[in-house]
Structure formats: C-alpha cells, structure tokens
Structure 1
C-alpha cells in the first residue's frame, strides 16, 4: 500500500502528524495551566467561605471570642 503513496502524500502526512503532535503538546500544557488555576480558585473559595463563616459567627455573638 505504501508503494502507492506519492512522496508528496507522505510529506503531507508527516507534516500533518507533526502539527497534530505540537497541538497535543499545546493543549496538554493549556490543560495543566487551567487545572492549576482551577485548584487555586477552589482554594481561594474555601478560604473565603471560612472567612464568611467567621464573620457570621462574630455577628451572631458580638461579645464572644474573636
């Protein structure tokens, strides 16, 4: 089957393959970056939730320990 392929076809396939591999690398890096940002956002949200809970507790009992 390969004997039926022209040099031009083989070159085009090789180029497309290299392009796709580069795209996979880029998407993997983008995914890693977005995952790190998501983890940071979740951490910030947990911190804010704890802060809100502390403030609510202070409002509920203004004479209690701070």
Structure 2
C-alpha cells in the first residue's frame, strides 16, 4: 500500500468517517428509544393480559364476586 494520499482524499475520508460516527450515535440513540418503548409495551400487554384473565374468571364464575 504505497499509495500517495492526496489532501482531498484524506479530507473526504475524514468527512465520511465523521458522518458515519454521527450516524452510529444516532442509530444507537434510536435503538435505545425503541427498546424503552418495547419494554413499556410489553409491560402494558402483561397488565392487560392479567386484566383479561380476571374478567374471564369473573364471567366464568359470577357467584365468586360476593
């Protein structure tokens, strides 16, 4: 690799590297946000599942509410 690196080429690669680093940071932040939302949705679904199971149990045995 005895290639001469021109100033223009070095600048282009440096700029691309900076752009890629920024993109990685943005994607990491986006991934974190999506992960937090997914955890919240899963929690909500678990709550709703328990609520549905409770309502189904009440419908199956309405006498047990007393």
* TM-score normalised to structure 1 length: 0.93
Whole-Å Cα distance in 2 between the matches of residues 17 and 65 of structure 1? 66
Extract unaligned runs of 5+ from structure 1.
none
Partner residue of 1:63?
A: 63
Whole-Å Cα distance in 2 between the matches of residues 65 and 45 of structure 1? 25
Displacement of 1:63 in angstroms is 1.2
SS of 2:29 mapped into structure 1: helix
Q: Structure 1 stretches (4+) deviating beyond 2 angstroms? A: none
1:23/1:57 CA distance change after superposition, 3 Å: same
Residues 1-66 of structure 1 aligned to structure 2 (within 5 Å): 1=1, 4-65=4-65
Whole-Å Cα distance in 2 between the matches of residues 39 and 7 of structure 1? 48
Supply the RMSD in Å over aligned alpha carbons: 1.6
Alignment length, in residue pairs? 66
* TM-score normalised to structure 2 length: 0.93
Whole-Å Cα distance in 2 between the matches of residues 14 and 60 of structure 1? 68
